């Protein structure tokens, strides 16, 4: 038994760990598991989707082999524990990149499928599952299911975004996107309020493949206009050979007893960050790693929220009500004085998601970190939930540790259909909290 927590460090409970390193032994390890288990990739989910206190975690990072890569078509087959970082480092020199990656590349292929992760390119490329051609899924009764968008599509739709609950993904085939190299032509633009954000996002949707905004979550307090921030957009560019930036990996050296993110630090940080970015605004050629994954440079940055850990609250609401709902949420957050430097605003494209429980839906997504201040934080979340529910939106299970069953059911109308595909030998803290077992 070992104590394991997820990225939010909200809890630390003992788990029985079973490493799935050898594909030939997975069937017997799953069948003979002493208790129900759940796959655990890099544990980069913030809440309890990858946790199973007192139960089993099947560790997948040992499934780290590349199986095939066709340089002429960009089709890659690999085991499910391969990291997105390692795919990119292998394939970009050959002219292929993952079309969709989240804000960290330190996640596994299995984790990216099970949460159907999204990135800055959603309006162009959809979510991770949109680029999966085949999944090999192993059930705890030993059955192997090969599925894809065109073969056994119902199993595919249940497994993409299926929160690890339909079986263990052992292998996947991914279609990559052509690129000239690792560089992007980028532009950074400050905006004064949400009106300007929506104008920028609309103007960028056709011409820019990657868009995202940082938002100053305290700027909407005192009845002021919510939502000044920094808009970033980028396109892959052919700029020939350039020296790659030196990797400067740092590690958060200690876990402070109290969160370093607090009322005192937040305001000066946000003002400084906004003004610095505003001053440096404009065009720049950037390497894909600092552009897509700036947080990966500081390892274990999650410890800065102190020993009580932190939540991330990520919602998506339909575009028609997106501005009002976002404004209302930002007002509540500014009034609470909580929130963090990490506040991200983005629009999702107008496309249906590939999975029954995929999070992305057409609309506006807002993601913010909150230090865990117990009841006070939960009271703020209850007010945000009411806004999301009224707007017919949903929360992202990959980031969640506390939403109610009612909110989950309301946000995910395909949940009853999904339940037909669950594996009875699999259970997680999230499934018990939101689905009963
Ligand atoms: C800094 C940071 C930025 C992030 N940015 C984004 C973002 O922009 N967009 C976004 O969508 N997400 C984002 N995330 C969340 C992250 O991408 C997801 O939580 C991702 O699923 C984590 O992958 P993992 O390998 O760590 O999986 P884990 O967190 O270990 O597990 C996640 C889920 O996948 C399941 N799973 C893992 N492996 C398998 C397998 N082989 N078979 C079946 N199920 C499996 C687990 O059971 C669990 O349900 C971010 C996270 C961090 C820490």
User: pLDDT, tens digit, for every residue of 48-62?
Assistant: 999 999 999 999 999
Kindly report, residue by residue over 173-191, the tens digit of the pLDDT: 999 999 999 999 999 999 9
Residue 252's pLDDT band (cuts 50, 70, 90): confident
Mean pLDDT of 234-245: 91
**Ligand 1 within 6 A of CB of 137:** no
- What pLDDT band is residue 43 in, cutting at 50, 70 and 90? very high
Ligand 1 mean position to 44 CA, how many Å?
Answer: 5
Structure tokens at 351: 């496309």
Nearest-CA residue for ligand 1 atom 17 is: 102
How far apart are the C-alpha atoms of 29 and 182, rounded to whole Å? 40
Between CA 202 and CA 209, with CA 206 as vertex, the angle to 5 degrees is: 105
- Report which ligand 1 atom has the smallest distance to the Cα of 107: 25
- 147 C-alpha to ligand 1 centroid (Å): 21
Give, for ligand 1, the residue of 18, 30, 39, 361 to mutate: max count of ligand atoms closer than 8 Å to Cβ: 39
CA of residue 239 to ligand 1 center, whole Å: 32
- Pick from 87-91, 177-181, 265-269, 397-401: least confident: 265-269
Per-residue pLDDT at 351: 93
d(CA 207, CA 234): 9
- Residue with the smallest CA separation from ligand 1 atom 39 is 110
Confidence of residue 255 (pLDDT cuts 50, 70, 90): confident
Q: How far apart are CA 37 and CA 160, in angstroms?
A: 19
CA of 271 to the centre of ligand 1 (A): 31
State whether the beta carbon of 398 lies less than 6 angstroms from ligand 1. yes
**Distance between CA 109 and CA 173 in Å, rounded?**
10
Distance 8 CA to ligand 1 centre (A): 12
Sketch out the chain's domains with CATH numbers: 183-404 (3.30.70.2520)
DSSP class per residue in 225-252 = PP--EEEEEEEE------PPPPP--EE-
pLDDT at 222 over 60: no
Dig out the tokens for 132 from the structure: 């999966």
State in Å: Cα 383 to ligand 1 middle. Answer: 27
The CA 101 to ligand 1 mean position distance, Å, reads: 11
Q: Is the CB of 112 under 6 A from ligand 1?
A: yes
For residue 8, the model assigns a pLDDT of 96
User: Residue 171 CB: number of other CB atoms within 10 A?
Assistant: 21
| CB of 62 closer than 6 angstroms to any ligand 1 atom | no
102 pocket-lining for ligand 1 (C-beta < 6 Å): yes
Decide whether any atom of ligand 1 lies within 6 Å of the 110 Cβ: yes
Per-residue pLDDT tens digits for 282-298: 999 999 999 999 889 88
Which atom belonging to ligand 1 lies closest to the Cα atom of 117?
Answer: 11
Residue 224 has pLDDT above 60, yes or no: no
Query: Band of the pLDDT at 243, cuts 50, 70, 90?
Result: confident
Q: How far apart are CA 425 and CA 422, in angstroms?
A: 9
So what's the pLDDT on residue 278?
Answer: 85
Confidence of residue 225 (pLDDT cuts 50, 70, 90): low
pLDDT at 264: 77
Asked if residue 406 has pLDDT above 90, the reply is yes
pLDDT of amino acid 382: 97
User: What is the pLDDT, as a whole number, of residue 369?
Assistant: 94
Q: Is 115 in the pocket of ligand 1 (CB under 6 A)?
A: yes
Of 100, 114, 368, the residue with max ligand 1 atoms within 8 A of its CB, to mutate for a pocket test, comes to 114
pLDDT over 80 at 247, yes or no: no
Q: Is the CB of 397 under 6 A from ligand 1?
A: no
Q: How many residues does the chain have?
A: 437
Predicted confidence band of residue 163 (pLDDT cuts 50, 70, 90): very high
Q: Is 45 in the pocket of ligand 1 (CB under 6 A)?
A: yes
Flag whether pLDDT at 221 surpasses 70.
no
Q: Are 167 and 145 in contact (CB under 8 A)?
A: yes
Which pLDDT band holds residue 227 (cuts at 50, 70, 90)? Answer: confident
The closest of 16, 140, 196 to 424, measured between CA atoms, is 140
Q: CB count, 10 Å around CB of 54?
A: 11
For ligand 1, whether the C-beta of 39 sits within 6 Å is yes
């Amino acid at each position: 038994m070992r104590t394991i927590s997820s990225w939010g460090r909200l809890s630390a409970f003992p788990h029985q760990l079973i490493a799935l390193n050898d594909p030939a032994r997975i069937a017997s390890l799953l069948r003979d598991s002493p208790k129900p288990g759940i796959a655990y990739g890099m544990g980069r989910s913030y809440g309890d989707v990858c946790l199973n206190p007192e139960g089993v975690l099947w560790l997948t990072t040992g499934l780290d082999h590349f199986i095939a890569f066709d340089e002429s078509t960009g089709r890659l087959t690999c085991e499910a524990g391969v990291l997105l970082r390692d795919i990119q480092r292998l394939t970009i020199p050959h002219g292929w990149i993952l079309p969709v990656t989240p804000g960290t590349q330190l996640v596994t292929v299995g984790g990216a499928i099970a949460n159907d992760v999204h990135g800055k390119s959603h309006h162009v490329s959809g979510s991770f599952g949109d680029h999966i051609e085949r999944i090999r899924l192993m059930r705890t009764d030993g059955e192997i299911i090969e599925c894809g968008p065109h073969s056994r599509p119902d199993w595919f739709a249940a497994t993409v975004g299926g929160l690890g609950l339909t079986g263990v993904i052992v292998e996947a085939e991914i279609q990559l996107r052509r690129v000239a190299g690792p560089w992007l032509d980028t532009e950074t633009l400050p905006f004064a309020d949400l009106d300007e954000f929506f104008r920028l996002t609309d103007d960028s949707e056709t011409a820019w493949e990657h868009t995202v905004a940082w938002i100053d979550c305290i700027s909407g307090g005192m009845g002021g206009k919510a939502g000044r921030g920094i808009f970033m957009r980028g396109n892959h560019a052919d700029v020939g050979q350039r020296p790659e930036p030196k990797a400067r990996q740092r590690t958060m050296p200690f876990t402070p007893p109290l969160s370093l993110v607090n009322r005192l630090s937040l305001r000066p940080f946000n003002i400084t960050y906004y003004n610095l970015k505003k001053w440096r605004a404009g065009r720049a050629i950037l390497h894909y790693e600092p552009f897509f994954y700036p947080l990966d440079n500081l390892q274990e940055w999650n410890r800065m929220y102190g020993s009580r850990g932190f939540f991330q609250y990520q919602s998506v609401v339909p575009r028609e009500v997106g501005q009002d709902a976002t404004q209302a949420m930002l007002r509540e957050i500014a009034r609470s004085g909580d929130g963090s430097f990490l506040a991200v605003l983005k629009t999702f494209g107008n496309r249906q998601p590939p999975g029954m429980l995929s999070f992305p839906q057409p609309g506006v997504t807002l993601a913010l970190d909150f230090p865990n201040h117990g009841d006070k934080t939960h009271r703020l979340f209850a007010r945000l939930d009411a806004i999301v529910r009224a707007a017919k939106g949903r929360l992202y299970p990959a980031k969640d540790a506390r939403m109610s069953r009612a909110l989950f059911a309301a946000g995910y109308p395909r949940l009853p259909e999904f339940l037909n595909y669950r594996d009875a030998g699999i259970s997680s803290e999230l499934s018990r909290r939101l689905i009963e077992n």
